[in-house]
Amino acid sequence: MKCNYVTIEREYGSGGTKIARRLAQECNIPCYGPEILDAVSKQNDISVDRIQKYEESVTGSFLYTLFVMSQTQSGNSDMLPAEGHIFMSEQREIQRLAAGGPAIFLGHCAAEALKKYSGVVKVFIRGESEDKKQRIMKDYKIPEKDVESTRKRFDNKRSKYYYANTTRKWTDIKNYDIILNSTYLGIDGCVSVLKGLFAK
């Protein structure tokens, strides 16, 4: 199978963003993460900060998830809550960007947006606790006393958002084609593995 798109979900502190950006650079293809939020922000005349708050406040209720998915599939966006509107806007933006050719997508349930596209490889990047702790302190300048609470907050946000919009558990290995441990492979090792997907 020819790889056209790589979607990456990652644990906070695993280096997933670095891996995605470096992979994009070495393969000379675009990588979209915060860029998705920037576009949705402009399209909906709402701040990125506000969008992030919507994502963080999304409920993990199974009934909520079923409702959002039913409205999304029926195309009836009028009945959706604000969080549902944001999700649909993100999904449309991912599809618009994908129309431009091969790309790497970070988070935002990109695999869901591209589920009918060919050549999509779904990746999850994780790491060991101590390694993530050191990276969080170094890369994000988070004080050691706040590392664990920050890590849990971001991972919980990503997990809830993923479940609310897919009805699937974020860390379930069945959702992914490739799972990489950045602690053992390192950033370079992860990039090397994924780079082979785009080899001609």
| Sequence spans of domains, the chain | 5-198
pTM above 0.95, yes or no: no
Residue 127 has pLDDT above 60, yes or no: yes
5-198 maps to which CATH number?
3.40.50.300
Lowest mean pLDDT among 62-71, 128-137, 155-164: 62-71
pLDDT interval class at 105 (50, 70, 90): very high
Report whether pLDDT(71) > 70: no
According to DSSP H, which parts of 28-125 are helical? 34-44, 48-57, 62-74, 82-98, 110-113
pLDDT at 45 over 70: yes
**84 DSSP β-pair partners:** none
Q: What is the pLDDT of residue 63?
A: 47
Task: Please state, in angstroms and rounded to a whole number, the distance separating the CA atoms of residues 8 and 5.
Answer: 10
To the nearest whole number, what is the mean pLDDT of the chain?
A: 87
